[in-house]
Chains A and B, each alone.
Chain A
Amino acid sequence: MSHVVIHVEGVGKRYKLGANRQYRTLRDSFTNALTSPFRKRDPEDPARIFWALHNVSFDVHDGDVIGIIGRNGAGKSTLLKVLSRITEPTEGQVRLQGRIASLLEVGTGFHPELTGRENIFLNGAILGMRRAEIASKFDEIVAFAEVTRFIDTPVKHYSTGMYMRLAFAVAAHLEPEILVIDEVLAVGDAAFQKKCLGKMREVSRTGRTVLFVSHNMTAMRSLCNRVVWLRNGEVEETGESGAVIANYLKSASATVTRQFWPTQEEAPGNSQVRLNMISVTSALEPGAEVDVATPVNIEVRYWNNVAGMVLNVSIEAYSIEEICLFSSFNPPEQMPAGLIRTTCEIPADLLNDSVYQFRVLIVRDAATILLKHEGVSLEVHDTERTVAYYGKWTGAVRPALRWSCDAQNSVNTKNDSIVDRR
């Protein structure tokens, strides 16, 4: 059974920094050649060389659903691009067995002037489907996208939702042996994402090999059986998804509870406002370990350089999966110039035992974001349990809710159950 279908061996990809940013002109190349004909052109300045991938090796077996995780810039997208032959590796090699289709974006090649029907054929061909194959799946695609009525309307008249659904529908009906998917789930509304996830689960159950990049760790955990964790372009760990994701989350959560900039010169911000300090700590005893029953204090200090601006600070709490859990802000107020200190308290029994990131925004007139900062992060520990259950409580937050329960023997239970069903 377990046949190796993707064998990645020592793959590296080198970029020259800056080469991507500014296009060269033929004129410049000519002038360079004329003015200094004997100088070696383009000397390889080591500081300008960047290895997006370095010495990456791993195997994927037939039927595996592999997740690729890592922070932004860890090389995930570059790896997918190499695997899908969009860009060539600088060194090493990849051995692929079977037809590969990559889905780095939904709706690649969609043309706004063409109708839904025309775009299905065009997009299908771009993704590598045969015309006969598209024709045979056409009705299924249209039904999945729920655009039957508008199939002969140019897609420029589609709503964003319809457009995304149609684009995903074509992609979802690809039938290669190996499927490479990048973040397509990041688009669309919740219902659409759910549909996509369902379709992907279905795809992975057919025994096809799937490679999948996403920041959504929940999706990763439920879809993938194995995970490759990339860090700075190198493989940090590969293995069973639960374990690797746990390690990744733990490492990613090297928490920064305090950020401080003593002078305005080095502080992030702009001419209007600059940050001085952000900290998150236990409200009971500064610096002490925080557990789910500890209230938490967040403090933001910033310089206001324009007297009289109406300002407020806004905090956004993110889970480790980079999902925004909640946000909160203080009432906007007219501020004098100088250092401003704002604090807020997150009550006890709200956060779960996990790692949270608190991003900071400074907003003017309750409308314009003057400053946005990555902020600080905090690890929340579990408390001593008084119940028999010792597993992790599910959920991004863990609020203490008021519960009540009492036996209702005296009341007619038959009636109650009818009420409950409503």
Chain B
Amino acid sequence: MTDVSTLPVLVIRPKKGFVSLNLREIWNYRELLFFLVWRDIKVRYKQTALGAAWAVIQPVMTMIVFSIFFGRLAKIPSDGVPYPIFAYTALLPWQLFAFALTESSNSLVGSQNLITKVYFPRLVIPLASVLAGIVDFVIAFGVLLVLMFWYGITPGPAIVWLPLFMLLALATALSVGLWFSALNVKYRDVRYTIPFITQLWMFATPVAYPSSLVPKPWRAWLGLNPMAGVVEGFRWALLGKTAAPGLLLWISIVAVLLLLIGGLFYFRRMESTFADLA
């Protein structure tokens, strides 16, 4: 037997005032995070007959619809790139974001059985739902490579920045997901607003149109919507036809950081009530 008097001591007491984020604890639970991500992915691909095909069908169908209505009929400009690939480069991070946001917002409510029976930092749950979306993204990215080859587009050196933009999309999804998932436990009508919000958000993001449609003095402020920064970043890194999104990107990064830190604190604050409400 080990000498218990040397073991670490844990004090459980009501949280008061300022809560600490205690991110080290998340790190200690990284294996659980891994297994939850693994479970989500595994179950999703086991349960759906089409499996991986879903990850491709969704963005490709949307791209086709956009190309017909916005590209051909409405003649929306596409910064000198063929419209289908212009839309697809934006749809790729958008789907990643929309999926991660929806899944993480509903994640806590969907994990009631875990929350009321076992302790672990609750943050692991929305985090796992966000990360599980990466597999779909990677599959859909394969389609992009095919498209780029088809249209004869070779990305420039800016492609090394792509992971950063992907991270930004995930961070945006997580920060909003943190707010929504915690609110969702308390107010059960939040889940009905999520599809509506994602839809509006998409039209507020330059997915179907280029940000160059927005008058120059206002353009950088589009970055207040972090997904604008992500989408512009993707187009710049992959297609290389537009200028690097300088100020717009910085505004996006700052917006995400604020949203994320706020979300983390709010989530931590609400954390202790989850088991009682769920």
Would A114 and B43 count as touching, CB distance under 8 A?
Answer: yes
Alpha-carbon gap, A5 to B14, bound state (A): 20
Tell me if B39 is interfacial: C-beta within 8 Å of chain A: yes
What is the minimal beta-carbon distance from A78 to any residue of chain B, in angstroms? 10
Tell me if B58 is interfacial: C-beta within 8 Å of chain A: no
Tell me if A130 is interfacial: C-beta within 8 Å of chain B: yes
Would B115 and A86 count as touching, CB distance under 8 A?
Answer: yes
Would B5 and A3 count as touching, CB distance under 8 A?
Answer: yes
Residues from chain A with Cβ under 8 Å of B273 in the complex? 88
Q: Nearest chain-B residue to A13 (Cβ)? A: B276
Residues from chain A with Cβ under 8 Å of B114 in the complex? 108-109, 126
Tell me if A334 is interfacial: C-beta within 8 Å of chain B: no
Would A125 and B35 count as touching, CB distance under 8 A?
Answer: yes
Tell me if A23 is interfacial: C-beta within 8 Å of chain B: yes
- Determine, out of B129-137, B157-165, B181-189, the stretch whose residues face the partner at the interface: B181-189
Given contacts A122-B39, A130-B31, A177-B4, contact A96 B118 (CB under 8 A): no
Tell me if B32 is interfacial: C-beta within 8 Å of chain A: yes
Of the candidates A62, A90, A122, which one forms a contact with B14 in the assembled complex, judged by CB atoms under 8 Å apart? A90
Interface residues of B in 1-53 (CB under 8 A from A): 1-2, 4-5, 7-15, 31-32, 34-36, 38-39, 42-43, 46-47
Alpha-carbon gap, A104 to B116, bound state (A): 9
Would B118 and A109 count as touching, CB distance under 8 A?
Answer: yes
Residues from chain A with Cβ under 8 Å of B32 in the complex? 125-126, 128
Would A62 and B275 count as touching, CB distance under 8 A?
Answer: no
Tell me if A111 is interfacial: C-beta within 8 Å of chain B: yes
What is the minimal beta-carbon distance from B197 to any residue of chain A, in angstroms? 13
Would B42 and A118 count as touching, CB distance under 8 A?
Answer: yes
Interface residues of B in 243-278 (CB under 8 A from A): 272-273, 275-277
Residues from chain A with Cβ under 8 Å of B11 in the complex? 93-96
Tell me if B120 is interfacial: C-beta within 8 Å of chain A: yes
Alpha-carbon gap, A27 to B186, bound state (A): 12
The size bracket of the interface on B is 35 or more
Tell me if A139 is interfacial: C-beta within 8 Å of chain B: no
Would B118 and A126 count as touching, CB distance under 8 A?
Answer: yes
Tell me if B117 is interfacial: C-beta within 8 Å of chain A: yes
Alpha-carbon gap, A96 to B10, bound state (A): 5
Would A114 and B39 count as touching, CB distance under 8 A?
Answer: yes
Residues from chain A with Cβ under 8 Å of B120 in the complex? 126, 128
Would B12 and A94 count as touching, CB distance under 8 A?
Answer: yes
Would B189 and A27 count as touching, CB distance under 8 A?
Answer: yes
Alpha-carbon gap, A100 to B10, bound state (A): 10
Would B187 and A98 count as touching, CB distance under 8 A?
Answer: no
What is the minimal beta-carbon distance from A29 to any residue of chain B, in angstroms? 7
Tell me if A25 is interfacial: C-beta within 8 Å of chain B: yes
Would B12 and A111 count as touching, CB distance under 8 A?
Answer: no
Alpha-carbon gap, A122 to B35, bound state (A): 6
Would A3 and B4 count as touching, CB distance under 8 A?
Answer: yes
Residues from chain B with Cβ under 8 Å of A95 in the complex? 9-12
Alpha-carbon gap, A403 to B113, bound state (A): 55
Interface residues of A in 15-59 (CB under 8 A from B): 15, 19-20, 23-27, 29
- In the complex, besides A24-B187, A105-B117, 5 extra interface pairs with C-beta distance below 8 angstroms are A86-B117, A86-B275, A102-B117, A108-B113, A126-B32
B binding-site residues for A, Cβ under 8 Å = 1-2, 4-5, 7-15, 31-32, 34-36, 38-39, 42-43, 46-47, 113-120, 183, 186-190, 193, 272-273, 275-277
A binding-site residues for B, Cβ under 8 Å = 3, 5, 15, 19-20, 23-27, 29, 62, 81-100, 102, 104-105, 108-109, 111, 113-114, 118, 121-122, 125-128, 130-131, 177, 206-207
**Sampled A-B contacts (5; CB under 8 Å):** A88-B272, A96-B9, A96-B12, A121-B35, A126-B118
9 residue pairs, one from A and one from B, having the closest CB atoms: A93-B13, A85-B119, A26-B187, A88-B272, A125-B35, A23-B188, A94-B12, A98-B7, A25-B189
